[in-house]
Amino acid sequence: MTTDGTPIPIACTLDAGSLAERAGEWRSFVTSCVVEVEAGTTTVRMVLADSPTALATAASLGQREKHCCGFFDASIELEAERRSLVLRVPGGAEEAMATFVALLTP
């Protein structure tokens, strides 16, 4: 929901070329910076490698994903033993999350 209560459309604003480029960025990120992916129907948690690069890349990609897919909720969780990038979608967007999770692997 927006601040005025209007539902956020379940849609991505990237064109086909930009979408392909972003998918490549996500795959590279998962390959180089993620040690575990925990996927559910409305949530995906990517446990980060213990490096400043992994954290910075997670923040950048999460923010950019939120920009083009406003219905995604992106957050970084800091725990004593791990750091994670967590993406969530609202009910009704399970197919969008499944599509996103599928693009994380080559």
Rounded CA gap, 106 and 100, in Å?
12
What would the mean pLDDT of 72-101 be, rounded to a whole number? 96
Query: CB-side exposure of 4: number of CA atoms within 13 Å?
Result: 1
Give the pLDDT confidence of 28-67 residue by residue, as tens digits: 999 999 999 999 999 999 999 999 999 999 999 999 999 9
Helix (H) or strand (E) holding 21: helix 16-33
Full-model pTM: 0.90
Say whether 97 sits in a helix, a strand or coil: helix
pLDDT, the chain, mean? 93
Q: Are 23 and 97 in contact (CB under 8 A)?
A: no
Q: What is the DSSP string of 78-99?
A: E-SS-EEEEEE--TT-HHHHHH
